[in-house]
Amino acid sequence: MNKSSLLQAWAVLWLQTKPMKDTEWRNQTTITEFILLGFGDLSDLQILLFLMFLVIYMATVVGNTLIVVLVVTDQHLHTPMYFFLGNLSYLETCYTSTFLPRLLASLLTGDRTISFSGCFTQLYFFGSLAATECYLLAAMSYDRYLAICKPLHYSTFMNTRFCLQLAAGSWLNGCLATTIFILFMSPLIFCGPNEIDHFYCDAIPLIKLSCSDTHLIILMDFMLACVFTLPPFLLTLTSYVCIIVTILKIPSTTGMKKAFSTCSSHLIVVTMFYGTIMIVYMLPKRDKFRDLKKVFSLCYTVLTPLVNPLIYSLRNREVKEALCKAVSKCGFHKNMQRLRDNNLA
């Protein structure tokens, strides 16, 4: 074989292999956005869903912001219980703001795409706030445990410094857990389908789209869940077991009702939050349960932040009194302003 024939053979071989490599490289790098399938093709109900979620989002933001303002401004609410409640209400506002505005835009415009960086950013904040909520709920349950089971030592244990440490630890642990998880997810390559069968960027559906080996990241997800979210859940469960046992030992019915009323609001929120999460992640991974999981996902992502202000304001006398005081004060100022305007006229 002469030199020219050898060069032609190498050229043919190069032309045959190069497109394959280029195609493989392009497939691994051209995923720049994902498509959130949401609730499927519901074009007839799109405007109705938009209005429903818009009202829910506005009510959630207004309700939780109102509780934060009341806790900050009213001196009677400067207690550990309401300090944690203010943190929880602020968290719920941020929690729903991570995905509901994007969902509203999708329902309004029909554009379901979300950028690669936007998806991972949403996943980070959503995961951080969800993990932080687990710790805040645990801190609130421990506060109720001390108030009911150790009333004589309550003021000693639940001092200002300890409350600040619990709140700061809750936020830091939530951010740390999700930061570790995102760092392990960042090397994943996405070269196949880019459709996420959810209404927000959830970790498991996102991992399923990866072309990389995901065994390590799935194991890491399980380990992080055990290390960062299982302890606050067990602390919450243990606290309420002790609380219920203590309440049942109270001889008078009036005393039992009074003790239970101090923790009933928080118990309802904890049951809703953990109950729906367990249902979502414990249901079998079958197609027939796919829509059902989305419905229960709405419970802990949308319904819980919405009803939190209602539960705490309607069932807590101190919050109702603070709200009435704030409303009457606003009315008083308005009346005074009207009198001044009349006098000047």
Nearest to 322 by CA among 62, 60, 78, 58: 78
**pLDDT at residue 6 tops 50:** no
More confident residue, 250 or 289: 250
Does any domain span residue 345?
A: no
162 contacts 169 by C-beta, under 8 angstroms: no
Alpha carbon distance, N-terminus to C-terminus of the chain: 111
Phi, psi of 195 (to 5 degrees): -100, 120
Amino acid at 33: E
Say if residue 68's pLDDT is above 70.
yes
Please check whether residue 211 lies inside any domain of the structure: yes
Q: Which residues pair with 196 in a beta bridge?
A: 36
Which whole number is the average pLDDT over 109-126?
A: 90
Cα-Cα-Cα-Cα torsion 300, 302, 303, 305, nearest 10 degrees, comes to 90
- Measuring CA to CA, which residue among 151, 135, 162, 163 is closest to residue 243? 151
Compute the average pLDDT of residues 11-24.
Answer: 39
Give the residue-averaged pLDDT of 119-130: 92
Mean pLDDT, the chain, rounded, equals: 81
Q: Which pairs with CB-CB distance under 8 Å and at least 24 residues apart come from 149-153?
A: 149/242, 149/243, 149/246
Please state the pTM of the whole predicted model: 0.82
Residue 226 lies in a domain: yes
Which tokens in the block code for residue 262?
């101090």
Q: Which of 20-29, 104-113, 164-173, 320-329 has the lowest mean pLDDT?
A: 20-29
Q: Compare 12 and 65 and report the one with higher pLDDT.
A: 65
Instruction: Give the range of the structural domain holding residue 116, as residue numbers without chain letter.
Output: 33-328
DSSP at 288: G
Comparing 161-165, 194-198, 239-243, 320-324, the range with the smallest average pLDDT is 320-324
Distance CA 266, CA 88 (A): 11
Gap between the Cα atoms of 313 and 76, Å rounded: 14
pLDDT (mean) for 299-326: 79
CATH number at 133 reads 1.20.1070.10
pLDDT value of position 338: 56
Residue 192: the pLDDT is 72
Nearest to 180 by CA among 134, 137, 227, 212: 227
Residue whose tokens read 């077991």: 241
Give the residue-averaged pLDDT of 169-194.
88
In a domain, 15, yes or no: no
Position 335 pLDDT exceeds 70: no
At 291-309, the pLDDT tens digits run 777 888 888 888 889 988 8
175-211 as b/e: b if 16+ CB within 10 A: bebbeebbeebeeeebbeebebbbbbbbbebbeebbe
What is the rounded average pLDDT of the residues 259-281?
A: 82
Please count the structural domains in the chain. 1
- Number of C-beta neighbours around residue 298 at 10 A: 17
Residue 340 resides in a domain = no
What is the rounded CA–CA span in Å between residue 154 and residue 143? Answer: 8
The confidence band for 334, taking pLDDT boundaries of 50, 70 and 90, is low
Band (30; pLDDT cuts 50, 70, 90): low
Residues 68, 199, 101, 61, Cα dihedral to 10°? -20
Which has more pLDDT, 336 or 247? Answer: 247
Top-confidence residue, 60 or 221: 60
Which of 318, 311, 319, 316 has the alpha carbon at shortest distance from 269?
Answer: 311
Q: What is the mean pLDDT of residues 91-114?
A: 90
Residue 242 belongs to some domain of the structure: yes
Tokens of 56: 């829910």
Residue 166: closest CA among 230, 130, 129, 174: 174
Query: Which pLDDT score is estimated for 241?
Result: 92
Collapsed DSSP state (helix, strand, coil) of residue 196: strand
What pLDDT was estimated at residue 29? Answer: 47
pLDDT at residue 161 in the model: 93
Structural domain includes residue 259: yes
pLDDT of residue 327: 75
Report the pLDDT value the prediction gives residue 202, as an integer from 0 to 100. Answer: 85
Confidence of residue 263 (pLDDT cuts 50, 70, 90): confident
> Could you give the 3-state DSSP secondary structure of residue 100?
helix
Q: CA of 21: how far to CAs of 25, 28, 186, 212, 213, in Å?
A: 6, 11, 23, 17, 20
Does 336 have pLDDT greater than 80? no
The pLDDT of 200-225, averaged and rounded, is 85
pLDDT of residue 197: 83
260 lies in a domain? Answer: yes
Percent of the chain residues topping a pLDDT of 90: 28
C-beta separation of 86 from 71 below 8 A: yes
Structure tokens that stand for 170 in this block: 């809750």
CB 188 within 8 A of CB 25: no
Contact by Cβ (8 Å): 96, 60 = yes
